[in-house]
Structure 1
Amino acid sequence: MITSRAFAGRRYAVLGLARSGLATVEALVASGAGVTAWDDREEARDEAMALGADIGNPLEIDLIGFAGVVVSPGVPLNRHPIAAHAREAHVPVIGDVELFAEARAELPPHKVVGITGTNGKSTVTALVTHMFESAGIPTLMGGNIGLPILSRDPLAPNENGVGVYVLELSSYQIDLSHSLACDVALLTNLTPDHLDRYDGFAGYAASKARLFSLQHRDQVAIVAVDDDPSKIIAGRINHRLFRVSGKDVDPVDQMRWPALQGPHNAQNAVCAIAVCRVLGLNDEQIEAGLATYKALPHRMELVGEVAGVRWYNDSKATNAASAAPALAAFPPAPDQRLHWIAGGQAKGDGLSACRPWFGHVKRAYLIGEAMDGFAAEIGDAIPVDRSGDLATAVARAAAVAEPGDIVLLSPACASFDQFKSFEERGDRFRAIVKAFGA
């Protein structure tokens, strides 16, 4: 695990004891810190106590003198009382990524890449990690993806170069960081999302932009400028900056990268290429990484083919802006028709981002809370099937799809009306399709 002498002799409160919370407790205790931990679940409290933590609710104890309150990114700071309680005690509210940043001084020589954005950040994080690994460079992926960063063993440099930590960073994780100066910071794109946590879109955009303000002047910013809000952020960066665009990718080149099809993956690829070039990979290493990359689960994942019909799981598309590129990736052809499964818990942005690609869709199968609202918004633009739930949508699509057709789950919605997470939704879709014989 990653530890630091900087934590020794200090006391921290840890609120929320899921994977990252327990990893934080373990790392802090191993570093010689005192830890007071809390979770509403008794079994989680028992695990923290077994790791050496005291048990106490940070909302009910005197926080004066604590070095920090470490909270899960899922804690809504704009309305959770811990924010005010910590502020009264003059104690910072931080996350595990901030602790990693504070521990960096004692780690072997390394570089840190921070990747944020509304959509595509998981794919770019995994792609950059794969490209460095395939080039033989020690690499570790963490943050909002994979295992908790503090639970991982520090990277050691080898003959191919210093280790690279590649961090996917949500806006929440950036909010909880104060000293994270990324050697390379990247913004993939910016569209409305998570507006329940911020003072409108401007507040959300400011959270993303803050990643660049934490950098030092000799560090590198990369911004994909395919949307206007990202262009605005790029225009305010006053240190070393590279602007990139998915339009810079030659479609002929993209055909050589089987897991990176569609315009959204062109943007993902150009972002990853820019990061890797900044950190020293050559064109041959970059091409090898792009060509051998395999897509993450739930992100334009080809589940299988049944009776000549291909089934794609894009459950990670939890808003319209992330579903739109998936629709764009499948233009109509005489032997290819697109059947689109959409719906769930709407985020308030509707389907306007998808509308330019409605012409690609043969039929829409709508599910969840958004079913009626999406049906009204689609109107007569696409034939609509009010399926209601995922199993019904799959069955109805399977009944009419012909060889050469595509069935795409790209919900443009959160999953929480019918599933615990987009992963559970995608897993369920995969299982249903496999039952059909994929």
Structure 2
Amino acid sequence: MITSTTWSGKRYAVLGLARSGQASVAALLASGARVVAWDNSEERREATRSSRAQSRDGAHGQRVSTSLDTNGSLELADPLETDLSGFAGVVVSPGVPINRHPIAAHAAAAGVPLIGDIELFAQARAELPAHKVVGITGTNGKSTTTALIHHILDSAGISARMGGNIGLPILGQEPLTPNDNGAGVYVLELSSYQIDLTQSLDCDVAVLTNITPDHLDRYAGFDAYAASKARLFAMQSPDHAAIIGIGDIPSANIARNLAKSGRSEALTKIAPGVCMDQSRWPSLQGPHNAQNALAAIAACEALGLSRDAIDAGLESFPGLPHRMERLGVHKGLLWVNDSKATNPTSTAPALQAFGRIHWILGGQAKTDDLEACRPGFGNVVQAYTIGEAAELFETLLRPEMPVARVDTLDAAVHAALTVAQPGDTVLLSPACASFDQFRDFEARGDAFRALVEGLE
């Protein structure tokens, strides 16, 4: 666990007790802070109560019912009903919509900043052993790029941790220590929500894959969303490396502004459409993965890795669960889990990667069109729409291809079985968020995997 004397003796509120919130509570308490924590989920509140009350067990193992830990530094209470005067910060889960949640106004009235677990990590860095930080953001490709950079570092024998918007919360992981191959590296996938809650993260290497319309319910418009991504570079020291994909106008503008500010020497631009030999990278096929690989190569070069070490990591990279993940052939059909495709731009590569596709899509729509997917429409035999967007997507796709509105993932799987021919591909690539029917994209992908495995 990462701790810091910076937090000792101070008071913090933590709103949202999923994985990052739980890790924040634990790290703050271990550092000597006093914490008010809350989640609307009684189950999560109870999990926090239980985990912090373990040391309160009686001599005969009986559980002492309390909302406070041993020294009374944790209280389970709603920050909205708490006087926040004198608090050092309100640690907000990235899932809390701060553009419309009343916690923003409540904290502002008390003069208390809204922060996230990544900001806590940034504050703790001065006390950590020598290390570097790579931060990766972007609408699409950031998870693959993050996992790829981490894998290359790990393959090269460099001590590395992966966290942020992927894997385990970074505060809950053990601090890195340098080894014979140099300082450890923290590799962080950063969503715009996490960047919004961060003020002092100075990445040694910052990466932007791309910016396309997404999460617009959380921003005043697309420009505001793009500005959130740009803040990752604004927090950097001028001589730290910036790697930016320039295949879209907002990203290209960010690169241009960095160059104008005098950071040309530290800037690497990743242009689209670069031809690469990807034949030795089985899990990095397609033009989108060429861009991801180029960004990872540039980041690892900025960290001082040799090209041989980078090549070895590219060749052995196993790929990510839920991202064009082949679940195998069942009932004569190839089943592919692309649940991480939560917007149309992210779905587009999958539609171009397979032939004769039975496309399962839908959920909580982020846009009202599917134009980004159009280049792959010719590969789709039939679409099956589910979730809140089922009716919208049925209407959009009906002029283009056969569509069945089936509403649920289970119904879509069984509907595809009745239509698909041996050799066809059944692809879950929703182009939507999952929150209407699932906890997150991972839960949706796991449900799809379970349905497919149940076909045997």
Q: Does the pair score TM above 0.5?
A: yes
In the TM superposition, residue 88 of structure 1 has moved relative to its aligned partner by 1.7
RMSD of Structure 2 on Structure 1 (CA): 1.7
* Matching residue of 1:103: 124
Paired residue type of 1:231: A
- Kept in 2: contact 1:192–1:349 (CA 8 A): no
Instruction: Give the stretch that moved more between structures: 419-428 or 126-135.
Output: 419-428
Distance change (3 Å), C-alpha of 1:79 and 1:380? closer
- Kept in 2: contact 1:187–1:223 (CA 8 A): yes
Paired residue type of 1:189: N
* Matching residue of 1:28: 28
Query: How far apart, CA to CA, are the structure 2 residues paired with 1:142 and 1:358?
Result: 35
- Kept in 1: contact 2:331–2:455 (CA 8 A): no
- Kept in 2: contact 1:120–1:188 (CA 8 A): yes
Paired residue type of 2:223: A
In the TM superposition, residue 84 of structure 1 has moved relative to its aligned partner by 1.3
Deviations 1:253-306 (A, max 9, x none): 212111112222222111111111111112211111111111211111011112
- Kept in 2: contact 1:139–1:164 (CA 8 A): yes
- Kept in 1: contact 2:368–2:392 (CA 8 A): no
Query: How far apart, CA to CA, are the structure 2 residues paired with 1:421 and 1:169?
Result: 17
* Matching residue of 1:17: 17
In the TM superposition, residue 308 of structure 1 has moved relative to its aligned partner by 4.3
Matched, 1:166 2:204: no
Query: How far apart, CA to CA, are the structure 2 residues paired with 1:173 and 1:157?
Result: 27
- Kept in 2: contact 1:262–1:326 (CA 8 A): no
Correspondent of 1:284 among 288, 308, 316: 308
| Pairing of 1:262-411 with structure 2 (within 5 A) | 262-330=286-354, 336-411=355-430
In the alignment of these two chains, the number of paired residues is 430
Deviations 1:89-138 (A, max 9, x none): 21111111101001101111111000111111111111111110000000
Deviations 1:304-347 (A, max 9, x none): 112543211001111111101111222xxxxx422211122222
- Kept in 1: contact 2:136–2:142 (CA 8 A): yes
Q: Which runs of 5+ in 2 are unaligned?
A: 53-67
Secondary structure at the residue paired with 1:347?
coil
Query: How far apart, CA to CA, are the structure 2 residues paired with 1:246 and 1:310?
Result: 30
Distance change (3 Å), C-alpha of 1:82 and 1:387? closer
Matched, 1:50 2:69: yes
Correspondent of 1:228 among 221, 243, 249: 249
In the superposition, the TM-score normalised over structure 2's length comes to 0.90
Matched, 1:219 2:240: yes
Correspondent of 2:110 among 81, 84, 89: 89
Matched, 1:248 2:274: yes
In the TM superposition, residue 44 of structure 1 has moved relative to its aligned partner by 4.2
- Kept in 2: contact 1:319–1:349 (CA 8 A): no
Query: How far apart, CA to CA, are the structure 2 residues paired with 1:391 and 1:322?
Result: 23
* Matching residue of 1:333: none
* Matching residue of 2:211: 190
Query: How far apart, CA to CA, are the structure 1 residues paired with 2:455 and 2:422?
Result: 14
Query: How far apart, CA to CA, are the structure 2 residues paired with 1:368 and 1:60?
Result: 35
Instruction: Give the stretch that moved more between structures: 93-102 or 83-92.
Output: 83-92
Deviations 1:362-408 (A, max 9, x none): 22222223222212212332222333322232223233333432221
In the TM superposition, residue 9 of structure 1 has moved relative to its aligned partner by 2.2
Deviations 1:55-112 (A, max 9, x none): 3332222222221111111111111111112112211111111010011011111110
In the superposition, the TM-score normalised over structure 1's length comes to 0.94
- Kept in 2: contact 1:13–1:70 (CA 8 A): yes
Identical-pair percentage: 63
Secondary structure at the residue paired with 2:153?
helix
Distance change (3 Å), C-alpha of 1:58 and 1:419? closer
Instruction: Give the stretch that moved more between structures: 214-223 or 266-275.
Output: 266-275
In the TM superposition, residue 246 of structure 1 has moved relative to its aligned partner by 4.5
Secondary structure at the residue paired with 1:254?
coil
Query: How far apart, CA to CA, are the structure 2 residues paired with 1:384 and 1:54?
Result: 52
Query: How far apart, CA to CA, are the structure 2 residues paired with 1:91 and 1:388?
Result: 44
Distance change (3 Å), C-alpha of 1:349 and 1:249? farther
Paired residue type of 1:34: R
Q: Which runs of 5+ in 1 are unaligned?
A: 331-335
Distance change (3 Å), C-alpha of 1:65 and 1:424? same
- Kept in 2: contact 1:320–1:349 (CA 8 A): no
- Kept in 2: contact 1:109–1:157 (CA 8 A): yes
Deviations 1:127-151 (A, max 9, x none): 1111100000000001111111111
Query: How far apart, CA to CA, are the structure 2 residues paired with 1:409 and 1:254?
Result: 25
Query: How far apart, CA to CA, are the structure 1 residues paired with 2:341 and 2:273?
Result: 21
Distance change (3 Å), C-alpha of 1:6 and 1:369? closer
Correspondent of 1:209 among 222, 230, 239: 230
Query: How far apart, CA to CA, are the structure 1 residues paired with 2:275 and 2:145?
Result: 15
